[in-house]
Amino acid sequence: MTARGAGPLLALTLALDGCASVRMLDADHADAPLLYAGTRLDHYALQGGCCSQARFGAQPPAHPGLDLPASVLLDTLLAPFALAAELGIGLGVRN
């Protein structure tokens, strides 16, 4: 896939079903993973995982295979923030 085709695919994924990475930003589970969380959620769903709400605090998208490339991209962009949070480093970002 070319870089030109990636933008519309990402927009379509986010618009149609929601992105696992975005869903994980609002996960309601204290032990939810931070690093590559959306990618992990998609992978779990693709492997037939039964209890994503209990394990991740979020439901996977209806089509995790389509969402996976967008989640990998977004998780990569968010990796510095997730790593800082995982290490307990405060970045001064508030709700």
Segment 18-75, tens digit of pLDDT = 788 888 887 877 888 889 999 999 999 999 988 888 889 889 988 899 889 989 999 9
pTM of the model: 0.75
Query: What residue segments make up the domains of the chain, in order of their start?
Result: 3-87
pLDDT value of position 48? 93
Is residue 79's pLDDT more than 90? Answer: yes
Long-range contacts of 35-41 (CB under 8 A, 24+ apart): 35/75, 35/79, 35/82, 35/83, 35/86, 36/72, 36/75, 36/79, 36/82, 37/75, 37/82, 38/67, 38/71, 38/74, 38/75, 39/68, 39/71, 39/72, 39/75, 41/71
